[in-house]
Structure 1
Amino acid sequence: MSLAGVSCLVTGAGGFLGQRIVQLLLEEEEELAEIRLLDKAFSNEALGRFGKFQGKTEVKILEGDIRDVTFMLRACRGVSLVIHTASIIDTLGLIEKQMLWEVNVTGTQLLLEACAHCNVQYFIYTSSIEVTGPNYKGDPVFNGDEDTAYESILTFPYAQSKRLAEDSVLKADGQVLEDGSVLMTCALRSMYIFGEGCPFLQGHVDKCLLNKNVYLRFSRKEALVNPVYVGNVAWAHVQAAKALRAPQKAKHMRGQFYYISDDTPHMSYADLNYELTRELGFGIEPRLPMPLTMLYYFALLLEMVSFLLRPFVRYIPSTNRHLVTLLNTPFTFSYRKAQKDFGYVPRYTWEEAKQRTCQWIASMVPQRRLYLKSKAA
Structure 2
Amino acid sequence: MTAAASSSRPPRLALVTGGSGFVGTRLIVRLLSEGWQVRALARSVDSEAKVKSLGARPVPGELNDEQSLRKAMDGCEVVFHVAAHFKLWGQQTVFDAVNVEGTRAVVNAAAATTSVRRVVAVSAAAVVMGDPEPMFDVDESLPLQTRAFSPYGSSKAEGERVLLAANGARPGLETLALRPPFIWGGEMPTLDHMVETVRAGRWQWVSGGEQAMSSCHVDNLCHALLLAADAGRGGHAYFVADAERGTLKSFISSLLATREVTAPDKAISFRMAWIAAGIMGVAWRRLRIKGEPPITRQMLRLIGQPFTISIRKAQAELGYTPQITMHEGLSAMRKTQPKFAGAYAQHGERRTSVAS
TM-score normalised per structure 1: 0.82
Aligned residue-pair number: 340
Say if 1:194 and 1:230, in contact at 8 Å, map to a contact too: yes
1:126 to 122, 125, 128: 122
Displacement of 1:222 in angstroms is: 2.3
Match for residue 282 of structure 1 among 253, 261, 283: 261
1:116–1:52 Cα change, 3 Å = closer
State the Cα distance separating 1:79 from its structure 2 match.
1.4
Q: Does the C-alpha gap of structure 1 residues 366 and 189 become closer, same or farther in structure 2, counting only changes over 3 Å?
A: closer
Structure of higher CA gyration radius: 1
* Aligned-partner residue type, residue 257 of structure 2: R
Deviations 1:274-326 (A, max 9, x none): 112336643222241x333222111111122123314xx55642222232232
Alignment match of 2:19 (pick from 9, 13, 25): 13
What value does the CA root-mean-square deviation take over the aligned residues? 2.8
Identity of aligned residues (%): 25
| 1: CA distance, partners of 2:62 / 2:260 | 42
Partner of 1:114: 109
1:60 equivalent to 2:57? Answer yes
Instruction: State the Cα deviation string for residues 258-282 of structure 1 (Å, max 9, x = none).
Output: 00101233221x4322112336643
- Per the alignment, residue 242 of structure 1 pairs with 230
- Cα distance in structure 2, aligned partners of 1:76 and 1:371: 30
Query: Which residue is equivalent to 1:71?
Result: 68
> Is the counterpart of residue 154 in structure 1 residue 150 in structure 2?
no
Residue 133 of structure 2 is matched in structure 1 by 139
**In 2: Cα distance, 1:327 partner to 1:228 partner:** 14
Q: Render the CA deviation track for 1:66-109: whole Å, top value 9, x for unaligned.
A: 1122211211111121010011112222xx33232222111111
User: Would you say 1:40 and 2:16 are equivalent positions?
Assistant: no
1:37 aligned counterpart, secondary structure: strand
Residue number among 286, 291, 308 corresponding to 1:308 in the alignment: 286
Distance (Å, rounded) in 2 between the aligned partners of 1:273 and 1:222: 11
Moved more, 228-237 or 217-226: 217-226
The answer for unaligned runs of 5 or more in structure 2 is: 1-5, 349-356
Q: Give the distance between the partners of 2:347 and 2:313, measured in 1 at CA.
A: 44
- Secondary structure (helix, strand or coil) at the match of 2:211 reads coil
Amino acid at match of 1:51: S
The secondary structure found in structure 1 opposite 2:59 is strand
Higher relative contact order (CA 8 A, sep 6+): 2
Relative to 1, partners in 2 of residues 1:48 and 1:143: Cα closer, same or farther, differing over 3 Å? same
Distance in 2 between the 1:99 and 1:151 partners?
20
Q: 1:191 to 1:231 in 2, by over 3 A?
A: same
One of 262, 269, 272 as aligned partner of 2:251:
272
Instruction: Between 182-191 and 34-43, report the one with greater CA deviation.
Output: 34-43
Show CA shifts across 1:36-71 (max 9, x none).
111323647x84675365xxxxx4111321112221
Instruction: Give, in whole Å, the separation in 2 of the partners of 1:41 and 1:20.
Output: 19
The 3-state SS of whatever aligns with 2:86 is coil
